[in-house]
Structure 1
Amino acid sequence: MHLPIAQRQTDRKRAAILQAAIVEFRNAGFEATSMDKIAATAEVSKRTVYNHFSSKEDLFAAILLQLWQTASTQEALAYESKSSLQIQLDEFLSRKMRMLCDPNFLDLARVAVAATIHTPDRARDMVDKLKQSEQGIVTWIKAAQQDGRLNKADPLLMGDMLMGQLKSLAFWPQVAMGQPILNPEQQQILIQTSVALFLNFYELKLKS
């Protein structure tokens, strides 16, 4: 079913406004960015911007919503009792790596971090929501523990440590220091190393 032309135009304008806001928030920061500047960058009228977003705060919230949705739309990791833990984790971290190395996702993350760095409450909310988007790995770890294949450490800590290894090299340096996105070979090495370290410490070796 095709959307009416007017609806498609409205959607395009909204997308253009969001993209313009991301650019301006990145370049000037949240406080220094005006709705006038966002309208100019999006090549729409200021009235059009306000038709979509009632305030700059509302516009920023929409950007954060994109970030949450991008993070949470990763396919769920279903535990498979007869499949290698290494293969399952390789697949999961490969999907996460694609997201972390997506330029659009990194742009959104830079905007979010820049706008929250001086507002602890907003920063805390951002971190909490991102953690909620990573519950899939915690559920997988609990299933593997119940199946007797991982030791009974804290699954939340285990998930944080696994994801932290990826983010320490494939997310935070790019967001905070402008370092280049890892190339495919670097991504694969990081995934394999992270999985190996995780399983070396947590996997229960079955007795023969």
Structure 2
Amino acid sequence: MTIPLRLTDRKRRAILDAAADQFRAQGFDAASVDGIAALAQVSKRTVYNHFPSKEELFAETVMEMFERNAGLVELDYSRERGLREQLIDLMMLKMRTLADRDFVDLARVAVGEAIHAPERALPLLARLGEREEGVTAWIRAAQRDGRLKPGDPLFASTMLQGQIKSFAFWPQVAFGAAPLPAAQQAQVVEAAVSMFLAYFAVDAAA
């Protein structure tokens, strides 16, 4: 049975949803707390009761969107399945999150802030870096099982996902490119996984 949210939680949810809409549509500087409050149908004071500043509201909005998408990239490591098969499944999940237009739009605002106001964006990027994503956790488990070479799992995860993002994230964020069609998604994933295993797998036939 789903437990209904308390009124204060419903208001916080409405504020975050409204903030995501406003930041995606207008960017950080143009979005206003007044506009966010009106869209959320709460008072400006209520917004500040939940979030002490527009900067903090922006940070929480980005963090929540990141965690919502990161939560979709979850695949428990299995020693009974081949590494290639598992990694392809995992990277296709990643592709699905990167194709989310709301996520891409908000990421574009966050990247813009990192360029124009690094003092505001860098603490947010540090918070994002503290989250262990599903891909990193999967690699850590495969290393413990002796099927991937030992080393920093975050480094290995960044290498793998960087190849995916170079086709299916950064062109969309920086240049407004369309999401990759399904056939090209599969091609990119297959190539990225093959290169990853060629370097990191203990058994090249994994």
TM range (shorter): 0.7 to 0.9
Structure 1 counterpart of 2:178 = 180
User: Are 1:117 and 2:115 matched, yes or no?
Assistant: yes
For structure 2, which runs of at least 5 residues remain unmatched after alignment?
Answer: none
Partner SS state of residue 28, structure 2:
coil
Change (3 A) 1:182 1:134: farther
| Counterpart Cα distance in 1 of 2:172 and 2:157 | 22
**TM, length-normalised to structure 2:** 0.78
| Counterpart Cα distance in 2 of 1:32 and 1:114 | 13
Q: Which one of the candidate residues 71, 74, 85 is aligned to 2:72?
A: 74
Q: Highest Rg: 1 or 2?
A: 1
Change (3 A) 1:6 1:19: closer
Q: Percent same amino acid among aligned pairs? A: 46
CA offset at residue 91 of structure 1?
1.5
| Counterpart Cα distance in 2 of 1:143 and 1:5 | 36
Structure 1 counterpart of 2:143 = 145
Structure 2 counterpart of 1:136 = 134
| Counterpart Cα distance in 2 of 1:49 and 1:30 | 16
**TM, length-normalised to structure 1:** 0.77
Kindly report structure 1 stretches of 4+ aligned residues shifted beyond 6 Å: 2-6
Structure 2 counterpart of 1:159 = 157
Q: Which one of the candidate residues 99, 102, 107 is aligned to 1:101?
A: 99
Partner SS state of residue 57, structure 2:
helix
Structure 1 counterpart of 2:82 = 84
CA-to-aligned-CA distance 1:55-87 (integer Å, 9 cap, x gap): 322321331231232144235433222210011
CA offset at residue 108 of structure 1?
2.5
Residue correspondences, number = 205
| Counterpart Cα distance in 1 of 2:101 and 2:71 | 17
| Counterpart Cα distance in 2 of 1:123 and 1:29 | 13
Change (3 A) 1:32 1:88: same
| Counterpart Cα distance in 1 of 2:18 and 2:152 | 42
Contact persistence 1:138–1:155 (CA under 8 A)? yes
Match of 2:124, as an amino acid? M
| Counterpart Cα distance in 2 of 1:64 and 1:72 | 12
Change (3 A) 1:3 1:63: same
Change (3 A) 1:134 1:163: farther
Q: Which one of the candidate residues 21, 35, 38 is aligned to 1:37?
A: 35
CA offset at residue 143 of structure 1?
3.3
CA offset at residue 105 of structure 1?
1.8
Match of 2:29, as an amino acid? E
Change (3 A) 1:129 1:163: farther
